[in-house]
């Protein structure tokens, strides 16, 4: 069996040990291609609901000792819609990736996408006590602009991967893992440590019941607040460009602005 095939992969593993292919060490990373945005609704929602959700957690877990350094739920500061995943990406391919991002951004300008009040928790199969389950809000994409952006990114990366293999003798990234889920435009609002909550409660049935109740109370609170904010704030999203986010450094390593300016 090829030595590289012995590497163990994880869906959101930030940086994998180097593998060996033809006596060449390959450093791999996990990247996310995202469209950053700025929504007053999300900002106001987080401000108003932070104490509400903290109170829900306190009420539901009052009988258990919580680690003050491990919040069971927290909102995300960064607002962005993920367009594509790049799992087990060969770091030597960054320049090629950036060139494709620059080309893609010149022909892209999503303008009609908007927030909905359709919410869900995503990532129940995450491993580890501190694993994060995402609270996501679905995005309405009436003109299929985000779907088109995803399709263009997928097509571009598939071609780049084939060209890369001819030169480097290895894949640029793991396509199967990167496209594990069908694309659905969504925005991650925050994270719930579901496994941590279940680990606090010795009785498994009670733990599951408590977690279900916490999730539902959070969903109800966020849904109500979104619907309230939709009455006074525009739910149309202002998108700025295409960025590449590095899961290890927790920062953007590439920023490219759309040629179209949203407010023009």
The mean pLDDT value of the chain amounts to 88
Distance of CA 258 to the CA centre of its chain: 21
3-state secondary structure of 59: helix
**In which element (H, E) is residue 254 found?**
strand 251-257
What DSSP state is assigned to residue 14? S
Give the pLDDT band (50/70/90) at residue 117. very high
Of 27, 36, 104, nearest to 245 (Cα)?
36
Least confident of 108-112, 160-164, 222-226: 108-112
Angle at 219 between CA 123 and CA 199, to 5 degrees: 50
Per-residue pLDDT band for 27 (boundaries 50, 70, 90) equals confident
* Dist. CA 33–CA 242, nearest whole Å: 7
What are the pLDDT digits (tens) for 173-214? 999 999 999 999 999 999 999 999 999 999 999 999 999 999
Q: Can you give the pTM of this predicted structure?
A: 0.83
pLDDT recorded at residue 123: 76
Name the nearest CA neighbour of 243 among 89, 33, 31, 99: 33
Q: Are 239 and 258 in contact (CB under 8 A)?
A: yes
- Kindly tell me if the per-residue pLDDT of 104 is higher than 50: yes
Distance (Å, whole) CA 114 – CA 234: 9
- Gap between the Cα atoms of 195 and 209, Å rounded: 13
Note the pLDDT tens digit of each residue in 251-260: 999 999 986 5
Segment 131-154, tens digit of pLDDT: 889 999 999 999 999 999 999 999
- Helix or strand run (H / E) with residue 82: strand 80-90
Q: Render pLDDT for 222-255 as a digit per residue (tens, 0 to 9).
A: 999 999 999 999 999 999 899 999 999 999 999 9
| Per-residue model confidence (pLDDT) at position 3 | 36
**With pLDDT > 70 as the criterion, what percentage of the chain qualifies?**
86
- Alpha-carbon distance 82 to 188, whole Å? 9
Q: Taking 50 as the threshold, does the pLDDT of residue 72 lie above it?
A: yes
Q: Taking CA 90 as the corner, what is the angle to CA 84 and CA 94, rounded to the nearest 5 degrees? A: 70
Q: What is the pLDDT of residue 128?
A: 76
Judged by average pLDDT, the poorest of 11-15, 47-51, 56-60, 180-184 is 11-15
Cβ atoms 215, 4 nearer than 8 A: no
């Amino acid at each position: 069996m090829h030595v590289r095939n012995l590497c163990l992969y994880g869906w959101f593993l930030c940086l994998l040990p180097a593998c060996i292919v033809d006596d060449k060490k390959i450093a791999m990373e996990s990247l996310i291609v995202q469209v950053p945005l700025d929504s007053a609704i999300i900002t106001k929602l987080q401000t108003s609901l932070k104490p509400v959700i903290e109170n829900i957690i306190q009420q539901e877990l009052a009988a258990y000792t919580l680690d003050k350094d491990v919040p069971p739920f927290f909102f995300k500061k960064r607002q962005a819609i993920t367009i594509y995943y790049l799992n087990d990406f060969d770091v030597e391919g960054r320049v090629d990736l950036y060139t494709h991002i620059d080309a893609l951004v010149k022909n892209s300008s999503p303008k009609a996408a908007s927030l909905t009040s359709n919410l869900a928790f995503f990532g129940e199969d995450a491993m580890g006590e501190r694993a994060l389950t995402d609270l996501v809000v679905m995005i309405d994409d009436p003109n299929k602009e985000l779907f088109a952006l995803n399709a263009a990114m997928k097509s571009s990366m598939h071609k780049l991967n084939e060209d890369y293999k001819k030169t480097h003798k290895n894949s640029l990234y793991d396509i199967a893992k990167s496209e594990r889920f069908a694309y659905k435009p969504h925005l991650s609002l925050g994270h719930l440590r579901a496994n941590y909550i279940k680990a606090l409660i010795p009785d498994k049935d009670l733990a599951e019941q408590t977690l279900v109740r916490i999730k539902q109370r959070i969903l109800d609170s966020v849904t109500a607040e979104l619907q309230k904010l939709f009455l006074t704030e525009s739910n149309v999203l202002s998108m700025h460009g295409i960025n590449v986010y590095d899961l290890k450094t927790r920062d953007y390593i590439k920023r490219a602005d759309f040629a179209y300016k949203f407010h023009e």
